[in-house]
Amino acid sequence: MSEKELRRYSRVVVDGNEQAPSRAMLRAVGFSEEDFRRPQIGIASTWSMVTPCNMHIGSLAEEAAQAADEAGGKGIIFNTISVSDGISMGTPGMRYSLVSREIIADSIEAVTAAEGFDGLVAIGGCDKNMPACVMAMARLNRPAVFVYGGTIRPGAERRDIVSVFEAVGALSGGRISDAELLEVEQTAIPGPGACGGMYTANTMASAIEALGMSLANSSAQEAVSAQKKQDCRRASAAVMNLIDKDIKPLDIMTKEAFENAITVVIALGGSTNAVLHLIAMAREANVDLGLEDFTRIGATVPVLADVKPSGKYLMAELIAIGGIQPLMKRLLDRGMLHGECMTVTGKTVAENLADVADYSAEQDIIRGFDDPIKSDSHLAILYGNLAPEGSVAKISGKEGLRFEGSARVFHSEEEALQAILDDTVRSGDIIVVRYEGPKGGPGMREMLSPTSAIMGRGLGAEVALITDGRFSGGSHGFVVGHISPEAAVGGPIALIENGDTIVIDAQSKQINVDVDEGELARRRDRWHRPPSPVRRGALAKYRAEVASASEGAVTIPPEWDE
- Alpha-carbon distance of 228 to 37, in angstroms, equals 30
Neighbouring CB atoms inside 10 A of 168's CB total 21
| Whole-number Å distance between alpha carbons of 34 and 15 | 12
| Strand pairing report for 40-45 and 74-79 | parallel
DSSP 548-559: -GGGTT-B-PPP
* Amino acid (1-letter code) at residue 117: F
3-state secondary structure 69-112: HHCCCEEEEEECCCCCHHHHCCCHHHHHHHHHHHHHHHHHHHHH
Distance CA 277, CA 134 (A): 10
- Beta-sheet strand order (sheet of 119-124): 74-79, 40-45, 119-124, 144-148
At a CB cut-off of 8 Å and minimum separation 6, what does 403 contact?
A: 430, 464, 478, 503, 504
Quote the Cα angle for 426-427-430, to 5°: 85
Report d(CA 446, CA 470) in Å as an integer. 5
Active-site hit among 472, 475, 548, 550: 472
**8 Å CB contact between 126 and 82:** yes
Residue 472 is among the residues annotated as catalytic for this protein: yes
Helix axes 200-211, 255-268, angle to 10 degrees: 140
DSSP 356-420: PPPPPTT--SB--TTS-SBSS-SEEEEEETTEEEEEEEE--STT-SEEEEEEEEESSHHHHHHHH
Q: Could you report how far apart the first and last alpha carbons of the chain are, in Å? A: 38
Catalytic residues: 472
